[in-house]
Structure 1
Amino acid sequence: MNDIAQSIIKLKDEMADQRAFDNKDNYSNAISGELKEWRHNLINIYAQSITESLDTSYDHINKWGEQAVNLLIDLDLPLDIAIEEIRNYRDKIGKIISEEAEAQQLTYIEFYNVLSRFNSVVDRAVHWLSISYSKKYYSRIYAAESVALELSVPVIKVTDTIGILPLVGDIDTKRAHELMDKALIKGSELGLDHIILDLSGVPIIDTMVADRIFKVIDALGLSGIHAILTGIRPEIAQTMINLGINISTIPIYSSLHIAMKALQE
């Protein structure tokens, strides 16, 4: 078994240079260079799996997978490229195992055990890399969404006591929740007496959105901050009426400019 493992390691450089995607995806030499160590580590694990226990090989694969995922995402390489590489080495190393087994006259059972253990490690590599890549990728997406969500609900202080909260685009449940938190927290932090909620950039308001906006207004009132609505488009005004929303107690102006002028007067 040690001879088979050594035969694989001897061909490590040759296999690492025969990249599965060179002629298909036009990756730069710089990226190929950074991936070489990634390939070497994987081939070493494959070779060691011939003599090591499965648990030990799985542990090595898990550690390799975490490092590999960081590299793939940093290089902006898709998951299918990595999986193709893993499977490519399965074919090459499987051929080496077959040739060495014949040369050493291994029994059928011995050959089966070696090949089965190797294939199990390859399958674990594909499985673990897929899971790690998905977790890492979606964690980055979530972080980016969180930043975008925070930026999409800005409270802007325009005078010592007046702030503006301009809303643009659709308001879903998550953004509506952020609206509530941001309006209350920033309003108090900035020491505002008035916050103008400008709806001129909101294309549609449904029951959920309207309910959330008026809860924000009520919560602001309890915090000593007066809320004002501006920029309500005709179709949104009609929707509010159809929904039976009572807006008679809330100061409403057709534009932000008029609201600012009224407050300053």
Structure 2
Amino acid sequence: MKEELKYIGNRIIEFRHELTLEIENYEQESYVSSINQSDLTREQIREWRSYFFQLLGESLFENYEEVKEKVTNWANEIGEKAVDKGIPLNETIATMGYYRTLIWKTFDKELQENQFAAITVLDVNKFINPLLDQVIFQFSQIYIRHNNEAYEKAQDKLTQLSVPVVPIADRVAVLPVIGELDPERAQLIMEKSLEKSSKYQLQYLLIDISGVPEIDATLAHFLFQVSHSLELVGVDTTLTGIRPEIARSVVERGVDFTQVKTRANLKQALNEIGISVEKA
């Protein structure tokens, strides 16, 4: 049994270059297009594939755990390169099935003549299939991690856009709030206001709500919390941009804004702290 496995393993290694070239006959057009659009060369890809065929061959007669570790390292390296070059996950994984197909194609004659015992075929699959599965798993993990990182970066950019604390003078910044405020965004404004105030060492923060469509008691309470929190860290906070219709609605609802410093508009608030809008 061991001799048959070693024979098969050595044959795979011996014909690894031919097998590598033959994989290209199975490649889908979309995969070829992805490769062509990257700066990967065919020589690089053939070298990587040839080495993987060698590892698959070695798995049949060398120390299996050591070979498995090499396969994992190979998968991590190739997976990272595929992600970096923008090759889709499904196309990268699809190539894994070709290895198994081509390995057995190499032994068509032996199989047709029943030169291998059925148990030998099962044993070969028992060694090779888990390695192919391991590669697919590693590829998947790499793509998942990459997608998570991309999502987090996108969320961070969205956060910066949704809570834009904009410095306009030394120790003075404006935070324009636009659109409706839900609890999650309100909490985000609280956190980012404190974070940016510390980063820019602010003395004044002007929160402009002219772009907020409606103010209720919950939002008023939130604005008071933001103002109070900033005051605790030494930041003078002024609320600007309460439109006439919003002011009327606030009064009708009995919302108390006496705990928050307010001004009609940014120009008025800036003039009060010594910044002339006309000269800016």
**Does the 8 A contact of 1:2 with 1:51 survive in 2?**
yes
1:134 and 2:144 matched: yes
Matching residue of 1:5: 9
Comparing 6-15 with 20-29, which one deviates more in the overlay?
20-29
Matching residue of 2:166: 156
Matching residue of 1:249: 259
**Equivalent of 2:34 in 18, 27, 35:** 27
**Could you tell me how far apart the structure 2 residues matched to 1:116 and 1:37 are?**
25
Alignment of 1:31-46 (within 5 A): 31=38, 33=41, 34-46=44-56
1:166 and 2:176 matched: yes
Tell me the alpha carbon deviations over residues 116-173 of structure 1, each in whole angstroms, 9 at most, x when there is no partner: 3222222222222212221232123323433543464343332335321223456566
Tell me which structure has the larger Cα radius of gyration. 2
Secondary structure, counterpart of 1:197 in structure 2: strand
Secondary structure, counterpart of 1:29 in structure 2: helix
**Displacement of 1:113:** 0.8
Alignment of 1:171-210 (within 5 A): 176-202=186-212
Paired residue type of 2:90: D
Secondary structure, counterpart of 1:264 in structure 2: coil
**Could you tell me how far apart the structure 2 residues matched to 1:213 and 1:90 are?**
63
**Does the 8 A contact of 2:240 with 2:263 survive in 1?**
yes
1:215 and 2:220 matched: no
Sequence identity, in percent? 26
Aligned residues: 265
Secondary structure, counterpart of 2:208 in structure 1: strand
**Equivalent of 1:64 in 66, 74, 77:** 74
Task: Give the TM-score normalised by structure 2.
Answer: 0.75
**Displacement of 1:45:** 2.7
**Equivalent of 1:224 in 228, 234, 240:** 234
Paired residue type of 2:12: I
Which structure 1 residue ranges, 5 or more long, are not aligned?
none
Paired residue type of 1:3: Y
**Could you tell me how far apart the structure 1 residues matched to 2:55 and 2:217 are?**
57
**Displacement of 1:82:** 0.8
Go from structure 1 to structure 2 and tell me whether the alpha carbon gap of 1:52 and 1:257 turns closer, same or farther (over 3 Å shift). farther
Comparing 96-105 with 70-79, which one deviates more in the overlay?
96-105
1:17 and 2:21 matched: no
**Does the 8 A contact of 2:238 with 2:260 survive in 1?**
yes
**Could you tell me how far apart the structure 2 residues matched to 1:235 and 1:86 are?**
64
**Does the 8 A contact of 1:149 with 1:175 survive in 2?**
no
Matching residue of 1:125: 135
Which structure 2 residue ranges, 5 or more long, are not aligned?
276-280
Task: Give the TM-score normalised by structure 1.
Answer: 0.78
